[in-house]
Chains A and B, each alone.
Chain A
Amino acid sequence: MKISKKIVLLGQFGVGKSSLLRRFLENVFETDYKPTLGVQIKKKMLDLPSGDKLSMIIWDLEGFMAIAKARASYLLGSEGFIYVFDVTRPITYENLEQELDFIALKYNNVALQVIGNKCDLENHDIAKNHLEKKGIMVHSYVSAKTGEGVQEVFTDLAKKLSK
């Protein structure tokens, strides 16, 4: 049987949401930055251990400064969120606590994974310490450039959604 789930990539401008998606879908990385305008929608089929097929319909939204400003209609009916921040730019994770509170308030049934991207560029200890102090659980620190940890971000979410 085929099951379809809507997953949305969230995060500020330039954190690498589209790069993560391209790395996951096509295993490629481009160095030039092309900002996403509006939304782009991609799909990936995964085989589940049960024998069913999971069709991940992934909405890659344009960056925003705060999730409250994202187009709410694009978030409707989501079953999974991947919130991405950039470990090299504190501005992208300093307000993460408020962002996660907003998600918990408005979308408390949606599975969430918080991801730190660009861990190839800089030691991510600063970001890690900052978020640990605030009690924020980060799923993983990954690199769209090298591909480190990217597949797991999506496959772990797929496992969560198929339960």
Chain B
Amino acid sequence: MVKEEDKLQMLRDILLVDDRQVANAVNQRLDVITQTIEERAKLSEKVDPIIQEKLDEFVAEIPVTLGPTITKTLKKEIANSQDAVVEALYPIMGKMIKRYVQNEIKVLSETINKKVNNTFSLISLKRKMRARFTGVKESDLILAEANPPAINEVFLIQKGSGILLGNHSTTETVDKDMISGMLTAIKSFVEDAFTGGNQNLENIEYELYTIHIQNFYNFYIAVVVSGNYTRSFESQLENKLFKLSKKLSPSVSHLSREETDSFLEKFFKK
């Protein structure tokens, strides 16, 4: 006879054997997972590739998702604390500008040395002759050759009103009507303020540019020149503007703004 106890055991084996196997398997799996989580190296082995992949995605998406926000915030911050930004950038900019100027002077010095050393070349002799006949110093001519002057803008402005009659420009600047108005206001102010008889403002210099002003009867012409503004260039420019005035004066009052612009463009492209 099977004992009660054995019967119970048999019954327990029949009923619970599968569950025990499952429980054992689960326990073993849990042990592996626990070990993986608790051991940094093992966890790292599993998680790192996922993080790396996500990180790569995030980095790739930064310009699209966060770019505009960052730019906007930076612009706002710079606008709100301009003084602080200038203060921070000043030493860096200063060094950069200093280096740039030093480099430019070095280049200029080399160019001049080359020209001076070439004393007996045909070009040099020509220059000497030109200096003698035009009365312009040879050093000025050398400087002009090293950094030749160039016409950047031409404004044909009605006298008194400051209305812009025509413009020729090689660069984009702020509103040209306002520039001609302000130039006229400055010119009027200077001419009124220094009572030395009926005199005209002829020149304005600002850093790398010179504004040559030539007065005619109904209008004046302001030419923005970059580079080395020498006496010989001034003289050439004056002659050119006299020619322009001669061609333009009879028709300037009935030419439209567009027609005058086109006339100036053709004239200065020659």
Contact = CB atoms under 8 A, between A and B. Distances in A.
Interface of A: 1-2, 4-6, 38-39, 41-43, 55, 57, 59, 71, 73-74, 76-79
Given A39-B185, A41-B185, A59-B185, A6 B178 contact: no
A6 to B, nearest CB: 4
Nearest to B182: A41
A6 B157 CA distance: 13
Contact of A42 (B178, B185, B192): B178
B256 A1 contact: yes
B192 A73 contact: yes
Nearest to A74: B188
Interface of B: 158-164, 175, 177-178, 181-182, 185, 188-189, 191-192, 256-258
9 contacts: A1-B258, A2-B256, A4-B177, A4-B257, A41-B178, A43-B175, A76-B159, A77-B158, A77-B159
A4 B158 CA distance: 11
A73 B191 contact: yes
Closest 8 CB pairs of A and B: A77-B161, A76-B160, A77-B160, A73-B188, A41-B181, A6-B161, A4-B163, A39-B185
A57 B158 CA distance: 13
Nearest to B188: A73
A157 to B, nearest CB: 16
A157 B192 CA distance: 29
B188 A77 contact: no
A43 B178 contact: yes
B185 A2 contact: no
Nearest to A6: B161
